[in-house]
Amino acid sequence: MFLFSVIMILAGLGSAVYLVVTGQAGTVDGLFLLLTALLIAVVFAIYLKYMIGRAMEAVRTPAPAAAKPAAPAKTAKPAPAPAAQS
């Protein structure tokens, strides 16, 4: 997912640059296409920042110490069922 996000950011920015360089961003359609490309780049950049933050948080928190094995629990015998009378 990391590589896909990076590719989408680069594609969004690349298409925005292409629209500006070719002059297509001056039209109404080109302007909306430019805004859409930049929006896609921003959304994936925010997700990438979140993903990196979560990975760094996981590295910072120490692993919990191994718990001691619990003593075997005593199993209680079930009480005998009362005898049925007819």
| pLDDT single digits (tens) 17-72 | 999 999 988 899 999 999 999 999 999 999 999 999 998 888 887 766 666 666 66
Please tell me the predicted confidence (pLDDT) of residue 77.
73
Q: What angle do CA 45, 49, 53 make, to 5 degrees?
A: 170
**CA–CA dist 72, 85 (Å, integer):** 39
The pLDDT score that the predictor gives to residue 15 is 95
Predicted local distance difference test score (pLDDT) of residue 72: 65
What pLDDT is attached to residue 44?
A: 95
Name which of 33, 31, 56, 42 is nearest 8 in CA terms: 42
pTM for this one? 0.64
How far does the chain reach from its first CA to its final CA, in angstroms?
71
